Amino acid sequence: MKKNSVIRLGVIGPGGAGRGNTLALVSSGQVELVAAADTNEQSLDYLENALRERVEGYKENSFNRYTGEYEFIEMLNQADLDLVGVFSPHSLHDIHARFALRANCHVLVEKPMANLVGDAIALTKLAIGRQRHLAIGYQRHFQNTYLATKQALVDGLIGEVQQFDVYLAQRWAGRTWRGDPRFSGGGQPNDSGSHLQDIILWVTELLPQTAYGTTSFEFEDDEGNLIQKAVEINSSTTVTMENGAIGTINIVGNTKLGFEEWIRLKGETGILEIKNGVRFIPNSGPTRELSPTRPDNYPKNKIDQIIGLITGSYTTNYVSSINGVRTSWMTNAIIKAGKGSSVQHPVDCDRLLEGEGYTRNEVHHLIQECSRRQMF
């Protein structure tokens, strides 16, 4: 807990979304950017320009620059930081977060927290052992629509979830490092798709049992030409959860109609449709809209969450690393199911986890430990 003083921030990879996260942290008035590391000097220039233009009272050239592939280590050793923002490409999140935690820093990491479930488990245990806060950039945990969905399930409005459908579509071409398998860790299913996989697991509190499906590496350009990409553009997967619920997760990168997402949950007593709000369709009776009720003292967003955890304003982490464990497990199964031919390939999620050196029981125990520590 850090009270009555400014939080000293260092960022790793402040380009694009990372720049926006950095601006939001500094604009809170509770955070001072003291250092930033990137492989590209231009990225640090853009950050400086954005701070100058958008943060009132910003003192020019006030953060230390670290440029190079491994200079983030020097930053962690030299800068005396309280918080590290990990906004680098996906494949580097795990290693950057590990170094930050071992430097006794709290961490805000962009999604996905780790590309592999074994790394996500190890990272969670490290955060617990170091007694540091680790928060993931899953902003849907703070949106009223999904808070209403989660509360409806907690209240037993539809009973136990039996079926589900998850859909995400956007124009996703795998540009820049996102199209490079060395840095992306799995194309669209591991990028924007991570958000929807996370939220279905967060609201239902279920874990995957088996998965089978396909992935496609073809992107259709504006002229209708199919271009073979190096990473997954689309995925279509049937997943069975450990409670027996069966559903589909479709992640589409080829749409030309703009961004769309929705979730449908069928339970014993009715259906929840989550799209531009939440509708409850009971087995008998009229459909009704659910009015979201935000819990008292609930963080506004991921920025408010991590700052509040560090200062002691919040004691509960609603985007904790256990979400990284659940989601990477699901993502790994989706990507593995799509490997090879177009024939659907079944994946046993227990065997996948055992290949990383862990068991389902260990994940359950870790979830219980995180719950005891108010990490949800």
> What CATH number is associated with residue 215?
3.30.360.10
* pLDDT tier for residue 341 given thresholds of 50, 70 and 90: low
**Distance set, CA 289 to CA 140, 279, 326 (Å):** 19, 4, 29
Say what percent of the chain tops pLDDT 70.
Answer: 98
Residue 259 lies in a domain: yes
Residue 303 lies in a domain: no
Residue 295: alpha-carbon gap to chain centroid: 22
- 113 with 183, same domain? no
Task: Specify the pLDDT at position 293.
Answer: 84
**Whole-prediction pTM value?**
0.96
- 150 with 126, same domain? no
CATH number (domain holding residue 35): 3.40.50.720
Q: Which residues are bridge partners to 12 per DSSP?
A: 37, 86
Among candidate residues 113, 140, 167, the one where a domain is terminated:
140
Mean pLDDT across 276-301: 95
Task: Answer whether residue 2 shows pLDDT above 70.
Answer: no
Mean pLDDT across 245-271: 97
Task: Answer whether residue 110 shows pLDDT above 90.
Answer: yes
Task: Specify the pLDDT at position 4.
Answer: 58
Residue 309 lies in a domain: no
- 171 with 134, same domain? no
How many structural domains are present in the chain?
Answer: 2
- 136 with 147, same domain? no
Task: Answer whether residue 86 shows pLDDT above 70.
Answer: yes
- 30 with 134, same domain? yes
- 135 with 147, same domain? no
Among candidate residues 140, 173, 206, the one where a domain is terminated:
140
Among candidate residues 100, 123, 140, the one where a domain is terminated:
140
Residue 107 lies in a domain: yes
User: How crowded is residue 38: how many other Cβ atoms within 10 Å of its Cβ?
Assistant: 26
- 172 with 119, same domain? no
- 94 with 164, same domain? no
Q: What is the CA radius of gyration of the chain?
A: 21
- 179 with 117, same domain? no
Task: Specify the pLDDT at position 3.
Answer: 56
Tokens for 277, please give them: 């709000």
Q: What is the pLDDT of residues 126-141, one digit of tens each?
A: 999 999 999 999 999 9
The separation between the first and the last C-alpha atoms of the chain, rounded to the nearest angstrom, is 19
DSSP secondary structure string for all residues of 132-164: --EEE--GGGGSHHHHHHHHHHHTTSS-SEEEE
**Structural domain harbouring 366:** 143-296+320-372
Residue 356 lies in a domain: yes
- 215 with 361, same domain? yes
- 167 with 230, same domain? yes
Residue 358 lies in a domain: yes
- 134 with 150, same domain? no
Residue 2 lies in a domain: no
Task: Specify the pLDDT at position 1.
Answer: 64
Residue 234 lies in a domain: yes
